[in-house]
Amino acid sequence: MNLLFPMKFFKFLMLFAFVFFISCGDDKDRKPGIETAKEEEAEVIEKLASAELIAKKFPGVLNSVGTIDLQHANLLDSIYSKRDYTPIWTERALREDLYRSIERATEDGLEPKDYHLSYLKNSLTNLSELDDEERSLTEIILTDAFFALASDYNSGKLNPAEIYDIWGVESNKIDLPGLLDYGVRQKNILAAIDSVVPKHEVYKGLKRSLKEYRKLARNQEDPTFVSEEGESIKADEKDERIPNIKQRLKELGYWQQEIVDSAITYEKPLQEAVKKFQEKYGIETDGVIGGGTIKTLNKTYQERLEQILVNLERWRWYPKNLGDQHIVVNIANYRLHFVRNGDTVATHRTMVGTEARKTPVFSEEIEHIVYNPTWTIPPTIKRKDVIPSAAKDPDYISKKNYSIFDRSGNRLSTSEVNWSSSEVKGYTFRQEAGPANPLGLVKIIYPNKYMIYLHDTPSKSLFNKNLRAQSSGCVRVQDVLDLAKMLLSDQPEYDEEKIKEILDSGKTTTIKITQKVKVHHLYWTAWNENGSTHFAEDVYKRDAAIYKLLSAN
């Protein structure tokens, strides 16, 4: 940590019109950090010391508690100057509330030490023994601790916009001085801090999982390691790793039978246990023991605990209010949930972007639905796929049912296109509606700078796979016609008969949405469902990097 106080802060410490209230009495039987003695009246400081004099006096105080890193120095200067330097934490109950809030931060995966816990434990326990300067320092550190804790609950310790090249969710705004003023006026610091803690059910579930996995990690003995060397193990094959696989599954609660070292055949009962394990951990549920399954088997409870901590941080980045009616896409778990007034009314399987063409995290409101859509080829696909393929194969454009338009919107025939010229990169390529169109029968549009939307697909069988990061960034949705129907439920003129008529016509038809529905593309790899903690494969390999930053931070 850095040495903390610029010179103006030493002067600032002594500018209080009132000395921080002190408590008298015996501290020995008191809980650390919580004072119980009677408050004394504040005394007016009549003579202000110079910054130089205070600078000479404070090294001893600083050395006794270690280096202090103020996280909101500029904000502290502003708030106290507006108060004419009167103290805030004059009431014992307010100090107790803040101290308890800091202690409880661990329940949300935050570190109490990041909010000056050690210093406050020492100073509040011995408050009656502190001199005026030390009490002034305690006053400032209490305020800084409140600001830091409230800020981290509200929008996270890390700034995702600084981590990712593409990040489309605005940071949650917070008025820290206003929040503190509210807590002081209401005489309820706990309520003030709780007001910025995420309320989403996934966040609440992760807190339960955090408690569970802290205990599991604490009690875990050396886990059985399964060698990752060797071929995938398929049904009825023999492999020397089978006993270790059974032992590891037993440690994780998926295998109850006796383990015999000589039994090395991959038989039916073990296949069923492996499938259950694969299903819970978001692995292809095929019963084949491949590299991914073995790598997941070898993950420790400590690694899972770290994954939960990462996902709690993610949910502090996400919008506090997703809306009364919204669609949330969990990119990592390949699921879409339609939520109305807190109830999930529909869940759909999805396909998302590959690791090379990731589906971005962002939020936008649905504007319209397009039936029998055409597909305008995105720039990346146009540049990397379409133009090179068309340059090699003269029939490529007609086989794909593409239309070509120049910059003025004029339709071009393939014979008019010079595929080796730079002009072709500025042309628009559009695939017309039809059975080969990759958007299928419908797309749901919420205008955004990423050109991402929800859509149908003619490749329905791909939804049966567990790993479905196979698109170019947009989100393919299983049974998306049913989802579109729900979005039009407030427009009775678009009943099933009318929609069938539109689809049968083959004509591209756009219908404006009159309900307010936001779509949130989010990414989380751990959650608690029906009392059980589930994990998804970190398909974009983000968890480890976030945990490393959290640990360093």
What range defines the domain where residue 149 resides? 7-197
459 and 386 within one domain: no
* pLDDT level of residue 36 (50, 70, 90 thresholds): very low
Q: Residue written as tokens 């338009």?
A: 405
349 and 386 within one domain: no
Tell me which of 474, 520, 521, 534 is the catalytic residue: 474
Query: Is 160 within a domain?
Result: yes
Please count the other Cβ atoms lying within 10 Å of the Cβ belonging to residue 193.
24
30 and 87 within one domain: yes
Query: Is 490 within a domain?
Result: yes
Q: Across the chain, what does the average pLDDT equal?
A: 87
Query: Is 243 within a domain?
Result: no
3-state helix, strand, coil in the chain (%, to 5): 40, 15, 45
Query: Is 217 within a domain?
Result: no
495 and 461 within one domain: yes
Query: Is 267 within a domain?
Result: no
* pLDDT level of residue 18 (50, 70, 90 thresholds): very low
Percent of the chain topping pLDDT 90: 70
326 and 187 within one domain: no
Query: Is 441 within a domain?
Result: yes
3-class state of residue 7 by DSSP: helix
394 and 362 within one domain: no
Identify the pLDDT of residue 67. Answer: 61
Identify the pLDDT of residue 41. Answer: 30
Compute the average pLDDT of residues 75-91: 84
Asked whether residue 107 carries a pLDDT value surpassing 60, the answer given is yes
Compute the average pLDDT of residues 169-181: 96
Query: Is 221 within a domain?
Result: no
Asked whether residue 306 carries a pLDDT value surpassing 50, the answer given is yes
Query: Is 149 within a domain?
Result: yes
**Range with the poorest average pLDDT among 94-98, 247-251, 468-472:** 468-472
518 and 386 within one domain: no
Q: Catalytic annotation on 474? A: yes
Structural domain count of the chain: 3
* pLDDT level of residue 456 (50, 70, 90 thresholds): very high
pTM of the model: 0.84
Closest CA to 485 of 352, 291, 346: 346
Asked whether residue 542 carries a pLDDT value surpassing 70, the answer given is yes
163 and 15 within one domain: yes
CB 365 within 8 A of CB 376: no
Q: What span, in angstroms and rounded, lies between the C-alpha atoms of 364 and 380?
A: 22
Residue where a domain terminates, one of 197, 229, 256? 197
Residue where a domain terminates, one of 391, 411, 432? 432
pLDDT in tens, 254-273: 999 999 999 999 999 999 99
Tell me which of 455, 520, 521, 534 is the catalytic residue: 455
Q: Catalytic annotation on 24? A: no
462 and 352 within one domain: yes
92 and 21 within one domain: yes
327 and 193 within one domain: no
Q: Per the structure block, which two tokens stand in for 252?
A: 């994780």
Identify the pLDDT of residue 72. Answer: 86
Asked whether residue 5 carries a pLDDT value surpassing 60, the answer given is no
pLDDT in tens, 343-382: 999 999 999 999 999 999 999 999 999 999 998 888 888 9
CATH number at 516 reads 2.40.440.10
3-class state of residue 215 by DSSP: helix
Please count the other Cβ atoms lying within 10 Å of the Cβ belonging to residue 153.
22
pLDDT in tens, 50-72: 333 333 433 443 434 456 778 88
132 vs 527, which has greater pLDDT? 527
485 and 387 within one domain: no
* pLDDT level of residue 112 (50, 70, 90 thresholds): very high
* pLDDT level of residue 119 (50, 70, 90 thresholds): very high
* pLDDT level of residue 87 (50, 70, 90 thresholds): confident
pLDDT in tens, 395-430: 899 888 899 999 999 999 988 999 988 899 999 999
